């Protein structure tokens, strides 16, 4: 694996998570996948979808960029393969609109399924019209320069989470979660098991049963000293 | 009334605001109710509805919880009565998703009309599909533990406002306002009077009359020294 | 031009940008206009539309107001002319709901095309129902007093940008941009040229061509030292 | 007790916590007092001392004020008694400098031991020179008006915590904690016991013993599944 | 005057406020100067001194810079004259350390009295050791590039305030205030008058008199409806 | 290397950066080290020293903890070796005071040189009195529970930066920078070279020479189109 955060490098060929495992993960929501891998892998809550009900699942092409500079996002287009989600970490907190409808058009034509960027984006209405899924920390028209080298497909931190090229990215209205490439199948299994269990619980709750009883919490609560008064 | 912020207690039976008064308050928006009780009772502006045009009105079941710990939200389900809105204060600022579609299913089956939580929630799309109204400070998939005791139905501070069990909660796209239980009827009267007056004003403004004239502001402005120049 | 930030003055008659130039600018999005005038003129990214897909273009009537005090917004109504957009700067950061459906009714009846306010607004649902376009830093029910003089039609700073009365205001889902009155026609020309060029680029990108080639970036990247590895 | 958040009232005489209990609490830091009353009573972490190593302990005179309006802070001066700490809640988040060296001079001459204000203050250097202890959310020169009624000595929320007139306020570099009036003596006892215990622990830790052993954590960690690897 | 926010220009010679007027303003604190010019001219409260008790007063050399790019700060050094304070506005919110001890050494050697920058700075300890006064929005080690043109001595917005080249800048622990060049002498007069008056008030307050009586507030409070209860 | 972010593991023995290389890096400030490794490795600017002029350099012992839960900080004490700096990443943004004077006493007795924690700390005055260097995102008295497993000496993200056990941590008033273990010596060389060069530049700048000339910027500025006007 290339060195974390190394600048000035484009890695053309990366190992990607198994396509079948990615498809299976894509059937679950972010909350389920996050639980299924032991409450890990989430990006910070400031990462929000640009349009309602956006959802995406794919393999990470990573980008390390500088604030207000989207040069590397153009470089990344060339290494996108169908099924990828581009994940952009930025060296400094920045809300500039580093991605818009032109890059979205390019990424889509290369087969990208979405973008995760710890900065701003613009052309929000066009992105919604195109139904190109984007998660960002801001929406802002501010344009960018193309002046400083970053990298493509090196490990990066995006919104507080380490992302390695080829990892699985799952994103929906609850945020974004990363599943390490090697764990994709195992987490998929766990997510399916969890969903089956939740479905059963949902029915019992809908019928008026209490979580206190379904999950057997009463004893632990009493032991912890909870007192009921009228 | 139980002591403010006391930990480790569940109060099963609380005095609730008069049901008829609650219904009347529910016919008005948050802005009107807030004005009608003398510009008081509002939660902080960071409390936002999870889905557009959500609206709720009911009697408060209060919860005191710890960051990243939703144990007490399960405990609260048992004391919900039809017409309640659950109001959750948290001891520390926290964006974890402490409430999702399973708890919403449970709360709805018990008759709850909504949730106000000074923390995060998850399963945002499902909450919208269920049309279960929720106001929160964040949307995030991060799950929670069940480890530390809080309380149910003690007075709490939620998003900067004191909430007593049984108070009226009115919430819409403009935020959340609390009406003390004893004042529900009086505030309902004032809200109706205000709305009638506003309706008349609205017609005059729509016809092109100026607020300066309708509200008789010109004299006060001149006295304060306002100068018009061409 | 009246002194920047001067308090206690209402300027009744202002020079407004040429109506035809305003119409032409209104055909372009905020991102395009911002680029067309050399990446200048944008308000801060915290200014967001109150309802999705709001868009507005008009000539600025400026207001200088105090936190939690909307007296001057009433004063401004009288000097609005058809085609204006009211732009409100506030002396201190404040999220109170200084504008709601009554003022919107009044402004619309006077011919206003929208409101830009570096504070909060309320009656968010009504504003959406009316399709009255508003950009603000917050949505909150908190009402305001009418106690302290500000000004109307003096130069103000709104969300970090200088706005002179009569300037062109263009706003959409990407934010808000100001075009100085004298530059309206020239920026309109540049915006049209830019849009034509972008349309051609969009087609090539959609066909799978790379920005690297369209924009001729490869040489500069190599010169900067970018290395490709497999 | 007067109604929470009621506007337009000054309560002249309030029951104050027992002076001896206040003195005892003042010997402990905020962290200790907070633990001693069951991890409750803390104001939000944004409340910071204006000058380093400020510390104060006294009985609360409460003020409810409006953003950018310090009228009620002048009203409060008259009801201060020696040993009081003035606690100011504001209806809206605001950073204006609502308190400076003149009010500090006045408060000190009336016997006040400090100020806790969920807004801004100014004359920061003078406050340090006077050694008048102040905790605030901001330091800013912005002056205020005197236009809108609030209250003095009604229950208020300050920085997320309910404060009743006469409660004990303890403040130092770790923040501000409120002890309800009736609990002052009991919390003082608990604080003393805690401090004795901590002193013994401190010596053992300084000698190189591990908290793992002193607090007997090893078994619980193993039970929870912690694994050691080399 | 050069056009607001124009990019790519350095104005070598600017009209500066009268030196004697600057000296007089420098004898007063920011709070006093701000009041003396009618509560106007303040930068946002996020602008804080890098070291305690820093104070500066001088004439503005303005810089328009891009985030993470301090090229223009080097350009500005050449046009500094003794008695200037450099004021830097940035096109996008940014915390990078755009100024450190080398530039401080250069600025001091040219006669600059301080720096006001709506971005980050670094070498905080060295700046304190040099006693070079700096106000910034952040302290951070992040270095910058030199890639994009801005301007020197065009009007800019810095931390929400319009600053024209040659204006007076007064800064201390309460923040930063701008006095327009033409108003320097008049504001100086007003500041002196205000300070004399405050000195007299301070003595009366220290003697235990109440602001209620000194400022004659009792009647207005009663008229507004304030009620005293025991 | 153990898996990133893995929960429930304590790695007792880690490879640490070469002691001599650590000492050499400790002679330089954070800004210099950050530049010397190509403008990489910095934690976010919200990480600030608890007391002025704190400085620390050592090898990282990493901790992964949960919000409001400092169990793992006790576990970490046992694996500290003289010369280590403890670096704590937290799964969710949190300001609770997870570290205070007791843990500082313990860490110091084990030979720790400081603490970097992306959460709050308390006993700020005692930490200053002990001269135990701490960088945190907040200071707050709020205590914590010991309920949920994290890990010690697995790779973590702290304040936006990946930290591997054994990496070098350099911290001062400008923030915190991480140097990967294998690069310690090379970055030390680069830092020394940089410092020598800066010292020479500093003398020339102090003598009044301009950076424009020393760095040879004039040609590039002219080429970029910068215009000088009088």
Q: What is the 3-state secondary structure (H, E, C) of F62-113?
A: EEEEECCECHHHHHHHCCCCCCEEEEEEECCCCCCECCCHHHHHHHHHCCCC
Q: Is F229 on the interface with E (CB under 8 A)?
A: yes
Q: What residues does A114 pair with on adjacent strands?
A: A85
Q: What is the least distance, in Å, from the CA of D110 to any CA of chain E?
A: 6
**Min distance C7 CA to chain B CA atoms (Å):** 9
Smallest CA–CA separation between F153 and chain D, in Å?
10
B142 to chain F, minimum CA–CA distance in Å?
A: 8
d(CA B157, CA B46): 15
Contact B72/B8 with Cβ under 8 angstroms? no
Amino acid D29: pLDDT: 97
Contact D12 E228 (CB under 8 A): yes
Residues of A in contact with E96 (CB under 8 A): 67, 92
Q: Is 0.90 exceeded by the ipTM?
A: yes
Q: pLDDT of A175-226, one tens digit each?
A: 999 999 999 999 999 999 999 999 999 999 999 999 999 999 999 999 999 9
pLDDT digits (tens, 9 = 90+) for C69-81: 999 999 999 999 9
Is the CB of D11 inside 8 Å of chain E's CB atoms? yes
Assigned token pair, C67: 């936190």
User: Are F122 and D31 an interchain contact pair (Cβ–Cβ within 8 Å)?
Assistant: yes
H/E segment holding residue E193: helix E184-206
- Phi, psi dihedral angles at A209 (to 5 degrees): -65, 155
Question: Are A178 and A169 spatial neighbours (Cβ–Cβ below 8 Å)?
Answer: yes
CA distance F136 to F98: 10
Say how many residues make up chain D: 230
**Contact between A42 and B101 using a beta-carbon 8 Å cutoff:** no
What span, in angstroms and rounded, lies between the C-alpha atoms of B163 and B151? 13
What's the rounded Cα separation, in Å, for the pair A183 and A111?
A: 24
In contact, C152 and C8? CB cutoff 8 Å: no
Q: Running DSSP on this structure, what letter comes out for residue C182?
A: G
F119 vs B: CB within 8 A: no
Q: Which is nearest to A226 in space by CA: B71, F161, C226? A: B71
The mean per-residue pLDDT over the stretch B40-68 comes to 97
With an 8 Å Cβ cutoff, is C8 touching chain D?
A: no
Contact A138 C198 (CB under 8 A): no
Successive 10-residue mean pLDDT values, chain F, 230 residues: 88 97 97 96 98 98 96 98 98 97 98 98 98 98 94 98 98 98 97 96 97 97 96
pLDDT at B1: 64
Averaged pLDDT, C32-52: 97
Contact pairs from chain E to chain F, CB under 8 Å: 107
B76 touches chain C (CB under 8 A): no
> Chain C contacts of E160, Cβ < 8 Å?
157, 160
Q: Tell me which residue of B139, C176, D129 sits closest to A171, measured CA to CA.
A: B139
| Cβ atoms < 10 Å from Cβ of D145 | 18
Q: By C-alpha distance, which of F64, F76, F133 is closest to F110?
A: F76
What residues does F43 pair with on adjacent strands?
none
**How many other CB atoms are there within 10 angstroms of residue B38's CB atom?**
14
> Which residue among A12, A124, A146 sits closest to C229, beta carbon to beta carbon?
A12
Average pLDDT over residues D149-154: 97
Distance from CA of D147 to the nearest CA of C (A): 7
Chains that touch D (3 or more CB pairs under 8 A): B, C, E, F
Identity of the residue in E42, E211, E226 whose CB atom sits nearest the CB atom of D141: E42
Closest CA to C93 of E162, E43, B174, D95: D95
Residue A127 is predicted with a pLDDT of: 98
Query: Which of left, alpha, beta for B31 (phi over 0: left; psi -120 to 50: alpha)?
Result: alpha
C97 close to D (CB below 8 A):
no
Q: Domains along chain C? A: 9-189 (3.50.30.40)
Per-residue pLDDT tens over the stretch B170-216: 999 999 999 999 999 999 999 999 999 999 999 999 999 999 999 99
Q: Enumerate the β-bridge partners of residue B58.
A: B169
Write out chain D residues lying below 8 Å of C92, CB-based.
Answer: 67-68, 94-96, 142
Report the C-alpha gap between A185 and A25 in whole angstroms.
8
Q: Do A92 and E92 touch (CB under 8 A)?
A: no
pLDDT digits (tens, 9 = 90+) for D177-188: 999 999 999 999
pLDDT for E206 equals 97
**Is D160 near chain F, with CB under 8 Å?**
no
Q: Do B208 and C149 touch (CB under 8 A)?
A: no
Among F1, F2, F3, F4, the residue to mutate for chain A (most A Cβ within 10 A)? F4
Tell me D181's DSSP state: G
Distance CA E75, CA E105 (A): 15
Inspect the interface and report whether the beta carbons of C91 and E39 lie closer than 8 Å: yes
Helices B184-206 and C101-109, axial angle in degrees (round to 10): 10
D215 touches chain F (CB under 8 A): yes
Contact criterion met (CB below 8 Å) for A105 and C211: no
State yes or no: pLDDT of C120 exceeds 70.
yes
Whose tokens are 């995030």? That residue is B140
Radius of gyration over every alpha carbon of chain A, rounded to an integer in angstroms: 20
Q: Are F205 and F211 in contact (CB under 8 A)?
A: yes
User: With an 8 Å Cβ cutoff, are B162 and D160 in contact?
Assistant: no
Q: Tell me whether B38 touches chain D (CB under 8 Å).
A: yes
| CA terminus-to-terminus distance, chain A | 62
Interface test with B, best of D1, D2, D5, D156 (most B CBs within 10 A): D5
Positions in chain E short of pLDDT 70: 1
Candidates F9, F141, F142: best to mutate against D (most CBs of D within 10 A) is: F141
Under DSSP, is residue D18 helix (H, G, I), strand (E, B) or coil?
A: coil
Residue among A78, A97, A102 minimizing CB distance to C202: A102
**Average pLDDT value for chain A:** 97
Task: Give the pLDDT confidence score for residue F110 in this predicted structure.
Answer: 98
A70's tokens? 């989207």
- Give C95's contacts in chain B (Cβ within 8 Å): 45
Tell me the C-alpha distance between E195 and E29, whole Å.
Answer: 10
CB-CB under 8 Å, C95 with D94: no
Is A111 a residue whose pLDDT tops 70?
yes
Contact check, Cβ <8 Å, C40/E180: no
User: Which chain D residues contact residue E29 at CB under 8 A?
Assistant: 123, 125, 141
Size of interface A-E (CB pairs under 8 A): 36
Asked if residues C150 and B221 have their Cβ atoms less than 8 Å apart, the reply is no
Whether the CB of B68 is below 8 Å from some CB of chain F: the reply is yes
Whether E96 and A96 lie within 8 Å, measured CB to CB:
no
Q: Nearest-CA neighbor of F143 among D174, C142, D92?
A: D174
Q: Going by beta carbons, is chain F in contact with chain C, meaning 3 or more pairs sit under 8 Å apart?
A: no
Burial A183-194 (b: 16+ CB within 10 A, else e): bbbebbebbbeb
Best C52, C124, C141 residue to mutate vs chain B (most B CBs within 10 Å): C141
Q: What is chain B's length?
A: 230
Q: Which residues of B touch D160 (CB under 8 A)?
A: 157, 160
The overall pTM is greater than 0.95? yes
Closest CA to A154 of E145, E143, C229: C229
Q: What is the pLDDT of residue D2?
A: 79
Report CA-CA distances (Å) from A121 to A51, F36, F221.
12, 32, 30
Residue D49 DSSP symbol: E
E122 touches chain F (CB under 8 A): yes
Question: In chain C, which residues have their Cβ closer than 8 Å to the Cβ of B206?
Answer: 105-106, 108-109
Arithmetic mean of pLDDT, C197-212: 96
Average pLDDT over residues B61-65: 98
Chain D residues whose beta carbon lies within 8 Å of the beta carbon of residue C95: 92-93
Among D146, D180, D147, D148, residue whose Cα is nearest residue D161: D180
Nearest to C109 by CA among B188, B206, E216, F103: B206
Q: At residue E157, what are phi and psi to the nearest 5 degrees?
A: -100, 125
| Mean pLDDT rounded to a whole number for chain C | 97
D-A interface (Cβ pairs under 8 Å ≥ 3):
no
Residue contact E96–A67, C-beta within 8 A: yes
Q: Which residue of A has its CA nearest to B111?
A: A208
């Amino acid at each position: 694996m290339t060195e974390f955060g190394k600048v000035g490098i484009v890695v053309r060929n990366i190992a990607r998570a198994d396509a079948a495992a990615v498809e299976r993960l894509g059937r679950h929501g972010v909350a389920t996948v996050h639980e299924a891998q032991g409450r890990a892998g989430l990006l910070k809550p400031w990462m929000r979808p640009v349009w309602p009900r956006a959802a995406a699942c794919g393999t990470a092409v990573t980008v390390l960029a500088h604030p207000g500079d989207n040069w590397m996002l153009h470089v990344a287009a060339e290494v996108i393969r169908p099924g990828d989600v581009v994940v952009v970490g930025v060296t400094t907190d920045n809300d500039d609109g580093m991605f818009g409808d032109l890059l979205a058009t390019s990424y889509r034509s290369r087969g990208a399924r979405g973008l995760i960027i710890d900065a701003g984006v613009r052309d929000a209405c066009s992105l919604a019209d195109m139904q190109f899924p984007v998660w960002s920390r801001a929406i802002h028209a501010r344009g960018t320069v193309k002046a400083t080298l970053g990298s493509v497909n090196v490990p990066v931190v995006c919104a507080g989470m380490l992302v390695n090229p080829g990892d699985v990215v799952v994103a929906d209205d609850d945020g974004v979660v990363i599943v390490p490439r090697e764990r994709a199948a195992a987490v998929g299994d766990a997510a399916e098991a969890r969903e089956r269990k939740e479905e059963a619980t949902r029915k019992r709750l809908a019928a008026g049963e209490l979580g206190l009883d379904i999950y057997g919490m009463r004893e632990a609560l009493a032991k912890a000293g909870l007192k009921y008064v009228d």
